[in-house]
Every structure is written in C-alpha cells, then in structure tokens.
Chain A
Amino acid sequence: MKQMTIISGKGGTGKTTLASNFIKLAKNHIAVDADVDAANLYILLKPTILQTQEFTGGPIAYLKGECINCGRCEELCRFDAISDSLADIKFDNLKCEGCGVCEYVCPADAIGLKAEKQGEYYISDTFYGKFVHARLDPGAENSGKLVTIVRNVAEDIAYRENKELIIIDGAPGIGCSVIASLNGVDFVVIIIEPTLSGISDFLKIYDVVKFFGIKPFVVINKKDINEENRQKIIRFCASGNTEIIGEIPYDERIPFNLANNTFAVDDTESIAGKEIKNIWEKIISLEL
C-alpha cells in the first residue's frame, strides 16, 4: 500500500481539483481530505457518512478552584495566556497551549486542564470509494493532530480492505497540518502555478519535502499564464532531478465543472481534464 499527498505551499493552485479527479480515476484506493479547516473534497465526492467521531484537541487551562491572586501562573506562562492574576484572573483560550505549567505552579490547586471538543471526523462512503474527512471547529487549534487522526483511520481501512493507494488532499502552507500530511507518505505531487508568488511558496514546500526525504513530482497548473516563470520552474526542477509529470493549461472549464458538480476528467471539452488523465496514468506507471 502506498500513500500520496497533494500539496502546493500556496493556496488555490489546484490541489483539490487534482485530488478529486485522481480519486475519480483511481480504482483501489482510500481518499483523505487533510485540509481540515477548509475542507472541500466532500463537495464533489458527496459522501454518505457511515461513522462520525468526536475530535478533542489538546486540553486548555481553566479556573477550577479559588484563586489566591499570587501571580505565579501569569509570571511563568510563556504564551501570555493568563492575565490579571493579581486581581481577577483571566485565561485566554486562544493563546493557551495546554502545557500545564500554571496547573503545576498554582499553590492553591485552583487551576485545572480540560480537553474540549474541537471538531469531528468521518468515515464515509462515496461513489468513488471510501473517504475519510474531518471538520475542525471554526478557529480551533490542533489541526495537525486532527490530520494525523484521519490519516491513521484511513491507513487502518486501507490495510483491512487491501487497498493499494491512499490519496491525501493536503492543506496550503508549510506548517503543522501540512507536515502531518507528509509524515510517512511515499511520494508527493506538488502543484504550482507559474507566478512569482507560486514559485516563492513552491521553494519553501520543496525544501520541507526534501528534508523528509519524500520523492516529489511536480505539476505546473495554468502553464500558459507566464512563460518566463514556467521556464524558471522547469530549470529548477531539472537542477534537482525532480520530474515534472504534467503541465495543465489554463482552462475555464475547471470552474465550470466545479459549479456543475462534474469532474474535469469526464468533460471531453476540458483540455485540463485531458492532461490530468495523462498525469494520473504516469503516476500509475511510475508508482503503482
């Protein structure tokens, strides 16, 4: 069984479009949406939820007893999450990381830690195979932890049902949830646009992928919007022996298909859809 993550650094470059079309073409796979705070894969896959689980993130501090206003917790909190401990103690839930230092130092045993529900994750059935996805509560922390959980669930199903591939739709950026979506995967597809900002973010995510020793394949999306930048990407990939496995042309059929709940690879008029099919066949021949 192999695992593949689709990432980009920059947002909105086509991760979910690529992932959903791969899922449509794949035969023996599990799909995972690892963009837990702005999940979109469900829109095209139209899942029927089989199982819902509660996600509790890390615990945070709260006042459980009588504060004696000693100020010790505020002094030692590294995250500025406690204020006014000399008058009317306040906890900032957005800043608290749940380290437990305040609980430990409180001489009055007045502080506790409790975990709260921060989201849900789901095992679903779709017309295109099993799908594991999640919804992080708006504004919540611990997205990396939730990504790790949905991936573990998907791995269990994949082993049990003898699937040969897990297709993971990643989040933008290079932070904790992206790193959680890369941990232990066999290869990644980095999808980038030939824009200066796209290249800047690509170089950062490329660095992360190389650090983890994961094999990257590159897809250039909207390849025709800037030839000079396209050449820059080609030169960069050639110098690092990174294969560009496809170049998707700018195609207004992509948002059209999305708005009509159809897949680009099923649209005979979509030149982008045709290229995505070619990319998928290359991935199969190289990796599966």
Chain B
Amino acid sequence: MIISVASGKGGTGKTTVSVALAQSLGYCNFYDFDVEAPNSDIFLKPDINHYQKVYVKYPYFIKKDGVSFKACSDFCHFNAIASINEDYIFFEELCHGCGGCILVGPEGYVREKDAEVGEISKGFKSPGIYFFMGNLKPKSMRTSNIQGDLEKMLDRNQTVIIDSPPGNSCSMVNAVKNCDYCILVTEPTPYGLSDLKISIDVLKNLNKKFGIIINRDGIGNKELEDFCRQNSYKILLKIPNDINIAKTYSKGGSLLEWEPKMKDKFLGIIDEIEKEVG
C-alpha cells in the first residue's frame, strides 16, 4: 500500500506527518519526493549507505566547416538551440534531453553526454525503515528526472510512505499519482484552505482517495472545518498549535519525540486507511 502525504501550501507539516507515520509503523519504505527541498533525513535520521547520482542526457555539437545545425534549431520545441550559419548557441537550461536534435541533425555531429542533476540517497533506520531521498542539485531544473528515478524504486509490496513537495503542479502529481491514499496536511487559515481546495481538485482528477490532517489546530478560523464538514471530507487528525512542537521541530525532533502517545493515533490512521483502501 502506498500512502502519499501532500499539501498545496508549504510548511504545513507534510514532513512532520510522514516521518511520524514511518516512525509509528517502524517497518516501511520511506520516499522523500520533495527533491527541491528535502528535509526528512533531518527528522528520521537514517544511516545513509548509498548515493546514486541522477543523470540526464544533454547534446553537444561538433563544429565543422559546412556542417549546419539549423535542422536541430528548427526542430527543438524548447528553443534550446539557436543556429546561425555554421555557428550555434546551446541553452542547456532549456534542454529537456529528448534526443530530437540527434535524430534530425547532421549525422555524427550531434552527440550526447551525461550531466548530473542530483542524487538519491538510500539508507536505513532501525527497526525497519528503508529510506530513499531525492536531492536536486541547485541551479538544475530537472525536478521530474529525480522523481522519476525515485519512482522506479517504489515497492508496492511494502507499506510505502511518500513525502510530497508543496504545491499543486506536476512535481506534486509525480508524488501522488502512484498512491492508494493521500493524506492532505493543512492549517486552518485562509491560505491553508485555498491551497487545500486545489490539492483536492488534483486528487479528484487522479481518482485518489484522501483524508485531511489539520495541523496547528487552534490558529486562524473555523472555515476549514466547515468546508470539510460540508463536503463530507474525512478529518483524520488534528495536531494542536503548540510552541513546543515548533521548538522540537526546529531541533530536528519528530512529533513522536514531542509526544510518544501520538504513535497510537498514527497507527489508528493507518488502520483506517487500510480499511478504506481494502
């Protein structure tokens, strides 16, 4: 069973919840899909035993008299290459690595090389948490390539927890599209509610089952709860607004370190999800 933990708004507690779920389970596979700003290692503290680099292919062009790259420039849908007579300018940051320029360009004069865009760290945390975390290299924009390599490591036969990136665009979709159930973490403020509504649209488009965790319960207003009640969305848990949680968090402490009794609540949530997923 795969459970993704997502949230349109950032900083609402995705990592807090996914780490607490993993620690409560004790035995599971954990994947950090927030490859632009991964943090789960800070809280889960696994022993990292392997780094796997993520590469994408970029073309390079060999200049020669009489060889033009106009066909490449005409073909490229991302405008990553401009061709002027026999000269060219290549914009690496626009290239998607599709290989089209090799197909259409002068044979033998367009070649490919690997470029590193990030890495995946793998580790283990006792008693039985297998840990996988993607990390995008700054200045690279290939978020989806890192997530794609992580996706290949998903093991459906295990209980899987996926920590999603914030937002409601393609990088969030990549983190939830394989799940059997998605937990949406939000906070009871107008920002939290506004972003939650969009996340629910994404999940409905993908036909995903979901439930909601309200974090920092007590701040803001009651609109979020009213919204959930009116639409019969399930509220799985409310985590109180408590400065001590924020202080524990700031030191890399998890929710279970703040309050060990939370473990039973999270195991209860897993039970509930298992029943619903069937």
CB pair B100–A204 under 8 Å, yes or no, is no
Q: Which residue in A8, A16, A58, A208 is a CB contact (below 8 Å) of B139?
A: A208
If A139-B205, A259-B220 touch, whether A99 touches B173 (CB-CB below 8 Å) is no
Say yes or no: A99 contacts B77, CB within 8 Å.
Answer: yes
Q: Does B10 interact with chain A (Cβ within 8 Å)?
A: yes
Distance between Cα atoms of A65 and B263 in the complex (Å): 56
User: A225 contacts which chain B residues (CB < 8 A)?
Assistant: 243, 246-247, 250
Interface size on A, residues (CB 8 A): 69
Report yes or no: A78 in contact with B98, Cβ–Cβ below 8 A: yes
Whether A201 lies near B37 (C-beta < 8 A) is yes
Residue A246 at the B interface, CB < 8 A? no
* Chain A, Cβ-Cβ closest to B93: A179
Q: How many residues of B contact A (CB 8 A)?
A: 65
Contact B247 A175 (CB under 8 A): no
Question: Do B100 and A100 touch across chains, with their CB atoms under 8 A apart?
Answer: yes
Q: Are B77 and A258 in contact (CB under 8 A)?
A: no
- In the assembled complex, the Cα of A8 lies from the Cα of B190 at a distance in Å of 20
Task: Tell me whether A196 and B250 are in contact in the complex, defined as CB-CB below 8 angstroms, given that A98-B77, A259-B220 are known contacts.
Answer: yes
A99 near B169 with CB under 8 A, answer no
Q: Which of B153-206 contact A (CB under 8 A)?
A: 165-174, 177, 187-191, 194-195, 198-199, 201-202, 205-206
- Find out whether the CB atom of B205 lies under 8 angstroms from the CB atom of A138: yes
Q: What residues on B are CB-neighbors of A40 within 8 Å?
A: 9, 190-191, 194-195
Q: Which of A162-220 contact B (CB under 8 A)?
A: 171-179, 193-198, 200-201, 204-205, 207-208, 211
**Given the known A-B contacts A37-B168, A195-B250, A259-B221, are A207 and B9 also in contact in the complex, defined by CB atoms under 8 Å?**
no
A283 contacts B by Cβ under 8 Å? no
Instruction: Identify the interface centre among A139, A197, A200, A258: most chain B CB within 10 Å of its CB.
Output: A139
A-contacting residues, B1-52, CB 8 Å? 8-12, 15, 34, 36-37, 39, 42-43
Q: List residues of chain A with CB under 8 Å of any chain B CB.
A: 8-13, 16, 35-40, 43, 58-59, 76, 78-80, 94, 97-101, 104-105, 113, 136, 138-141, 143-144, 171-179, 193-198, 200-201, 204-205, 207-208, 211, 222, 225-226, 229, 250, 252, 255-256, 258-259, 261
- Which B residues have a C-beta under 8 Å from some C-beta of A? 8-12, 15, 34, 36-37, 39, 42-43, 57, 75, 77-78, 93, 96-100, 103-104, 136, 138-139, 141, 143, 148, 165-174, 177, 187-191, 194-195, 198-199, 201-202, 205-206, 216, 219-221, 243, 246-247, 249-252
Having A97-B96, A139-B172, A204-B36, one finds 13 other A-B pairs with CB under 8 Å, namely A37-B167, A38-B166, A38-B168, A59-B77, A94-B177, A173-B167, A175-B171, A211-B138, A250-B246, A255-B216, A255-B220, A258-B191, A259-B219
Sampled A-B contacts (25; CB under 8 Å):
A12-B10, A12-B12, A16-B191, A38-B167, A40-B9, A40-B190, A59-B77, A78-B98, A80-B148, A138-B168, A139-B205, A172-B10, A173-B143, A173-B166, A173-B167, A174-B37, A176-B141, A179-B141, A195-B249, A200-B39, A204-B138, A255-B220, A258-B190, A258-B191, A258-B220
